[in-house]
């Protein structure tokens, strides 16, 4: 990262709707903010919370913190007050940056002091704290060094051949790891260009592929729910033809990708989707490669990663050279991912989450298996399965679905009976208009269980 900023001076590194920034421009911004940090008395080892709406300045400040050895914790500008207070109490920052007025007015012509040479000794010290999106309980603060982030990003780039031709659309939430590592640091280290665009929402989903065409994007990171909603709302034949012709690479992560979504993308756009696997604690673990996205689940494990599948239950245990330094508010190193999987034909396949497994009469039932089969049925837009207590069986599966216009409950039941063994058939099928999800697209199954008490 540091070398790219100083050697690729006139190459474009960041594009927004308003401006194009070269590597030289970005370095000037870092030098400007470094001067401002000096005025504020912020030094190596200090903790700063960053809550800035402006994407360009947000990432400029992140990089300045990295360069200076300041530990940064990004916060969503729209987070609710009680959650924000909890995060701040855990992180205990020296300062909270929630407005650019804290600094002087930046201009490209402003004279700044040359920043001190990068201090290599800070590479393995704490640099970034992100909080798990956490579908249950208190979120945990995951601590990574800059060395961790750069090693993981470089290995991913080599795995997937990202280089200076990369034009990455960044629409992931910027205060989560996927917005920082996947969509920003990876293309930055590759010497490519990051196109900062509106963070994805349901309101702008219909324009996602149009924005890709407008900015000539060849790489993008999406969650499964982002991809499904965008592809369903895509109607413009000119955009569809552009995607088919230019074949941009779509990486998908943060949650399991249903086979149905892959098939919809393939049928409508004629392109494959590259599913990836990683955790906040271990960063990138595996990713499908170009040409294998249709058959390789989350793909081969990245170089230098050790993955062990425990015989007793299929737990995925990971050891990586970029494992987190620890949690800021909990014990452990996150090597037990909490996921279940197998390795088949050199590819890692995720079967489900340990905590989601339903034990019915002593039999382990995978919610993912029921969800995948429900998505094969007519009239089902999305599906989620939870287990609830049962007096006789111990636990039974409940199927929640988001229906499409042609949904028919009796037809769904009859189709599911052809696809599922009797003992896996859901105890009840419940329709909802939407699922509670984290900003990274994970269904909050604990909220689904709570909703049963309100029905």
Sheet holding 315-319, edge to edge: 306-309, 315-319, 336-344, 347-353
With cut-offs at 50, 70 and 90, classify the pLDDT of residue 355: confident
Distances (CA, A) of 146 to 28, 130, 181, 218: 21, 13, 11, 27
pLDDT at 7: 59
The model's pLDDT over 305-346, given as tens digits with 9 standing for 90+, comes to 999 999 888 999 999 999 999 999 999 989 999 899 999 989
Residue 78 has pLDDT above 80, yes or no: no
Tokens, residue 368: 């993912």
Q: What is the mean pLDDT of the chain?
A: 91
pLDDT digits (tens, 9 = 90+) for 104-145: 888 888 888 878 888 889 999 999 999 885 544 678 999 999
Angle at 241 between CA 236 and CA 246, to 5 degrees: 130
According to the model, what pLDDT value does residue 8 have? 66
What's the angle, vertex CA 449, arms to CA 141 and CA 444, rounded to 5?
35
| Residue predicted with more confidence, 328 or 363 | 328
Read off the pLDDT of residues 367-424 as tens digits, 9 standing for 90 and up: 988 999 999 999 999 999 999 988 878 889 999 999 999 999 999 999 999 999 888 9
Q: Which residues contact 293 (CB under 8 A, 6 or more apart)?
A: 262, 272, 273, 274, 275, 299
**Which string of DSSP letters, residue by residue, matches 186-251?**
HHHHTT-EEEE-PPP-GGGGGGHHHHHHHTT--EEEE-HHHHHHHHHH---HHHHHHHHHH--EEE
Q: Which of 181, 170, 172, 169 is nearest to 142 (CA)?
A: 181
Is the pLDDT at 217 greater than 60? The verdict is yes
The CA–CA distances, whole Å, from 137 to 133, 282, 446 equal 10, 20, 10
d(CA 181, CA 103): 26
**Average pLDDT score over residue span 48-74:** 96
Give yes or no on whether 12-351 and 357-453 have one common fold: no
Nearby residues of 352 by Cβ (< 8 Å), 6 or more positions away: 339, 340, 366, 367, 368, 369
Looking at domain 357-453, its CATH class is: alpha beta
Rounded distance between C-alpha atoms, residue 422 and residue 23, angstroms: 60
Query: Would you state the pLDDT for residue 316?
Result: 96
CB 243 within 8 A of CB 216: no
Partnered with residue 396 across adjacent β-strands are 388
3-state secondary structure of 302: coil
pLDDT at position 438: 82
Residues contacting residue 453 through CB under 8 Å, at least 6 positions apart: none
User: % helix / strand / coil in the chain, to the nearest 5?
Assistant: 35, 25, 40
At 243 the pLDDT is: 98
Residue 363 pLDDT greater than 90, yes or no = no
- pTM for the whole thing? 0.86
Give the pLDDT score at 426: 95
35, 155, 162: which is closest to 104 by C-alpha?
35
pLDDT of residue 2: 55
Annotate 103-143 with DSSP letters as a single string: SPPP-TT---PPPPPP-GGGTTSEEEEEE---SSSSPPEEE
Q: Which CATH superfamily groups domain 12-351?
A: ANL, N-terminal domain (3.40.50.12780)
Q: Which two tokens stand for residue 202?
A: 């349901």
Task: Please spell the DSSP secondary structure of 19-32, one letter per residue.
Answer: -EEEHHHHHHHHHH
Q: Please tell me the number of Cα atoms within 13 Å of 270 on its side-chain side.
A: 9
Residue ranges of the domains in the chain?
Answer: 12-351, 357-453
DSSP character at residue 146? H
Res 256: pLDDT: 83
For 171-192, the pLDDT digits (tens) are 999 988 999 999 999 999 999 9
C-alpha 192/C-alpha 118 separation (Å) is 21
Residues in the chain: 455
State residue 73's pLDDT score.
Answer: 98
Alpha helix segments (H runs only) across 276-432: 367-374, 409-419
8 A C-beta contact, residue 315 and residue 340: yes
């Amino acid at each position: 990262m540091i070398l790219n900023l100083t050697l690729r001076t006139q190459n474009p590194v960041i594009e927004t709707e308003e401006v194009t920034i070269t590597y030289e421009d970005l370095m000037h911004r870092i030098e400007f903010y470094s001067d401002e940090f000096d005025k504020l008395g912020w030094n190596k080892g200090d903790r700063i919370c960053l809550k800035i709406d402006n994407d360009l300045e947000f990432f400029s400040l992140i990089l300045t913190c990295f360069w200076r050895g300041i530990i940064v914790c990004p916060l969503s500008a729209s987070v609710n007050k009680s959650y924000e207070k909890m995060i701040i109490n855990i992180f205990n920052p020296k300062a909270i940056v929630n407005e650019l007025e804290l600094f002087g007015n930046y201009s490209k012509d402003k004279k700044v002091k040359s920043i001190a040479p990068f201090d290599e000794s800070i590479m393995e010290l704490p640099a970034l704290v992100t909080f798990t999106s956490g579908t249950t309980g208190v979120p945990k603060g995951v601590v990574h060094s800059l060395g961790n982030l750069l090693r993981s990003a470089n290995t991913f780039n080599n795995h997937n051949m990202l280089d200076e031709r990369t034009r990455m659309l960044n629409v992931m939430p910027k205060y989560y790891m996927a917005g920082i590592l996947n969509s920003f640091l990876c293309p930055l280290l590759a010497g490519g260009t990051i196109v900062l665009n509106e963070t994805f929402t349901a309101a702008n989903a219909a324009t996602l592929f149009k924005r890709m065409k407008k900015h000539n994007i060849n790489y993008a990171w999406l969650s499964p729910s982002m991809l499904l909603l965008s592809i369903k709302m895509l109607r413009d034949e000119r955009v569809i033809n552009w995607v088919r012709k230019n074949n941009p690479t779509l990486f998908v992560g943060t949650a399991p990708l249903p086979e149905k979504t892959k098939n919809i993308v393939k049928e409508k756009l004629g392109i494959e989707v590259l599913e990836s696997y990683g955790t906040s604690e271990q960063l990138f673990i595996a990713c499908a490669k170009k040409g294998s996205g249709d058959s390789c689940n989350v793909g081969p494990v990245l170089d230098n990663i050790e993955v062990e599948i425990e015989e007793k239950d299929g737990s995925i245990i990971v050891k990586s050279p970029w494992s987190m330094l620890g949690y800021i508010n909990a014990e452990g190193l996150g090597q037990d991912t909490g996921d279940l999987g197998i390795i088949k034909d050199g590819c890692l396949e995720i079967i489900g989450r340990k905590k989601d497994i339903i034990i019915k009469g002593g039999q382990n039932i995978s919610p993912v298996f029921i969800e995948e089969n429900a998505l094969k049925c007519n009239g089902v837009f999305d599906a989620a399965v939870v287990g609830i207590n049962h007096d006789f069986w111990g636990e039974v599966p409940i199927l929640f679905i988001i229906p499409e216009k042609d949904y028919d409950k009796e037809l769904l039941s009859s189709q599911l009976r052809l696809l599922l063994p009797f003992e896996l058939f859901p105890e009840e099928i419940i329709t909802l208009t939407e699922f509670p999800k984290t900003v990274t697209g994970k269904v909050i199954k604990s909220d689904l269980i709570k909703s049963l008490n309100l029905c």
